[in-house]
Amino acid sequence: MNRNPNEVENVDKNRRKALAALTAGAASLPFLSLSAETVTNLKKEIEVLPNEKGPFDTVINNGRVIDPETGLDAIRNIGIKQGRIAAISKTEIMGDKIIDANGLIVAPGFIDIHAHGQQMVASWMQAFDGVTTQLELESGLLPISKAYDHVSKQGRPINYGFGAAWSFARATVMQKGLEPADGTLAWFQKAFTFSDWQNSLPTDKQLNQIMALVEEGLNEGGLGVSINAGYAPGMGRKEYYRLAELAKKYNVATYTHDRYMSIVEPKSSFEALGEQIGLSAVTGAHMHVCHINSVAGRDLKAATDLLKQAQAKGINVSVESYTYGAFSTAIGADFMRGPDWLARFGATDYTAAEFNGEPLNKQSFEDLQKSEPGTPIIFHFLREEENKEDQNLLDLAVLYPGAAIASDGMPWFKADGSIIEEDVWPLPKEAFAHPRSAGCFSRLFSIWVRQRGVLPLSEAIAKVSLIPAQIVEKTAVQMKKKGRLQVGCDADITMFDLNTIKDNGTFTQPGKTSSGHQFVMVNGQLIINNGKRVDGVLPGQAIRNN
């Protein structure tokens, strides 16, 4: 029997100490710093609100509740009211609906700050991976108002948001014959049939027009300046500087896919990373490094050493990684062209590239690149499952202290290469994407936490919830109530079985949902119940800048 709501335990009103169990304490911050001052700041006190009285709309009973910010890791009962956490109690509490979380980890819903798959089916696939908020910040979209309106009219099971897309602005201004951007990624896919916007320098007039479009996106709620420089490496140095200045002016971050994808100098990934760090140091802008694993590739040791040096000196850069040694991209991307493109990845054979799960050869690669340059392919820059040295390289990114995990998840494509825009479920068998679109986060817990035991559970949870929330929260105050399990925070919660959580998608069968997430809740509403999708429930809300 549930106890009377008056018996609800009143959480101590005194302040709790912030998490000290994470490695060097650094994983509770978006940035790594080895200074004594930072270690002291990690122990700053977190204000914990008292429990509210019941009864509650929903009660989660007997789960192992882990909050990475306060360091809570204990069996607790959670009471939810009006979409927010209203009580976290040692004793039983009353509610209209009871969820038995016995044997499950109860964690903040995962936050993906690098999610290109913003269609309905992509959102549902991520929900099965424990994701409750997906943000398109690396590529972004334009016009921002159209992007938000489009998704709002359809609704989403999970929260959503977008950065202001510099690459969209650049293609709009510089590319003749290209229709105006419509706020969708499908438009950007079509842009790869053109090349002027990727490699040409803008005139002064064009640069002013590009900047105006990006600024308009920020004024319409864009969550940051999205700089997909890997797809337009012809960007001018002054152009990049102005984007950093704009981010600083609006107190938002830049989210950058660095301009070069290469281990060979000049024009190496290391050089591009140094450029990004330098602009952050000069302008003071917060500059976020997207998918350090794939931009640095086999140069991860040098790249991560450089990042650590920069962060130790207080330069405002943050970083993310996904949990695979293969990336997905349009085959027409500039970094996939030229006589030496394979060598720039440290590869020797075209079979490192795959289309629909099948390795390509030189002829099939070139034919596809010429006929359908927007076609998504997979490229294996590491073979971590076959090579221990490659696994060690990937670990430098995935285990990087204070780094977020972000999927870089792609939309789901039909066999003809077009994006699945319609609301269909289950996912069609022929649907194709990188398996990270289905299993990036569960893979972290399955491999690095459970199988290999090289990442503490609490730190893994921080990497997928608290850290991404902290990266974005100065821009969007809504994020201060996400990535945490505390009274007053949004009831975005995933409940998973650590013994069974697993990514099931593969490169040949990517459309298999992850397993282990028994219950997933967004803004107080269950969207996954006993491991099954709850049809007709779309509680996702827009995340916009302040």
Query: Of the candidates 194, 269, 193, which has an alpha carbon nearest to the alpha carbon of residue 230?
Result: 269
Q: Which contiguous run of DSSP H or E holds residue 77?
A: strand 72-81
Q: What is the mean pLDDT of residues 315-332?
A: 96
% of the chain surpassing 90 pLDDT: 88
Helix, strand or coil for residue 137? Answer: strand
Distance CA 472, CA 36 (A): 25
Which H/E stretch holds residue 302? helix 300-312
d(CA 495, CA 528): 10
pLDDT at residue 535 in the model: 96
* pLDDT band at residue 43 under the 50/70/90 scheme: very low
pLDDT tens-digit series, residues 183-234: 999 999 899 889 899 999 999 999 999 999 999 999 999 999 999 999 999 9
pLDDT at 417: 84
Within a 10 A sphere around the Cβ of 249, how many other Cβ atoms? 12
What is the signed CA dihedral for 137, 142, 143, 149, rounded to 10 degrees?
-50
Residue 31's pLDDT is: 37
Tell me how long the chain is.
546
- The pLDDT tens digits for 77-124 are 999 999 999 999 999 999 999 999 999 999 999 999 999 999 999 999
- Quick one: pLDDT at residue 152? 97
Local confidence band at 356 (pLDDT 50, 70, 90 cut-offs):
confident
d(CA 174, CA 369): 22
pLDDT of residue 387: 95
pLDDT band at 34 (very low <50, low <70, confident <90, very high): very low
Which residues make Cβ contacts (< 8 Å) with residue 438, sequence separation at least 6? Answer: 125, 126, 128, 129, 409, 503, 504, 505, 510, 511, 512, 513, 514
| 305-329: average pLDDT | 97
**C-alpha distances out from residue 346 to 31, 261, 343, 349, 380, Å:** 29, 11, 5, 10, 11
Q: What does the pLDDT read at residue 30?
A: 37
Instruction: Give, in order, the Cα–Cα distances in Å from 331 to each of 193, 199, 336, 435, 519.
Output: 11, 16, 7, 17, 37
The mean pLDDT of 21-25, rounded to a whole number, is: 31
Inform me whether the pLDDT recorded for 4 exceeds 90: no
Q: What percent of the chain has pLDDT over 70?
A: 92
Note the pLDDT of residue 522: 99
Q: Supply φ then ψ for residue 217, to 5 degrees.
A: -60, -40
- Alpha carbon of 497 to those of 64, 98, 291: distances in Å? 10, 18, 27
Rounded to an integer, the average pLDDT of 427-434 is: 93
| Mean pLDDT of the residues in the chain | 91
Whether the CB-CB separation of 375 and 356 falls below 8 Å is answered with: no
Instruction: Give mean pLDDT, residues 237-262.
Output: 97
Residue 40 has pLDDT above 80, yes or no: no
Q: What is the pLDDT of residue 16?
A: 34
Average pLDDT for 505-514:
96
Beta-carbon contacts of residue 309 (< 8 Å; ≥ 6 apart): none
- Predicted TM-score of the model (pTM): 0.92
pLDDT range class, residue 497, cuts 50, 70, 90: very high
CB distance 486 to 67 below 8 Å: yes
Q: How confident is the model at residue 546 (pLDDT cuts 50, 70, 90)?
A: confident
Q: Rounded to an integer, what distance in angstroms lies between the CA atom of residue 393 and that of residue 402?
A: 17
371-393, pLDDT tens digit by residue?
999 899 999 999 999 999 999 99
- Is residue 33 over pLDDT 50? no
- Give kind and range of the element (H or E) at residue 120: helix 120-127
Q: How confident is the model at residue 265 (pLDDT cuts 50, 70, 90)?
A: very high
Calculate helix-pair angle for 388-398, 300-312, nearest 10 degrees: 20
Q: Which residues contact 363 (CB under 8 A, 6 or more apart)?
A: none
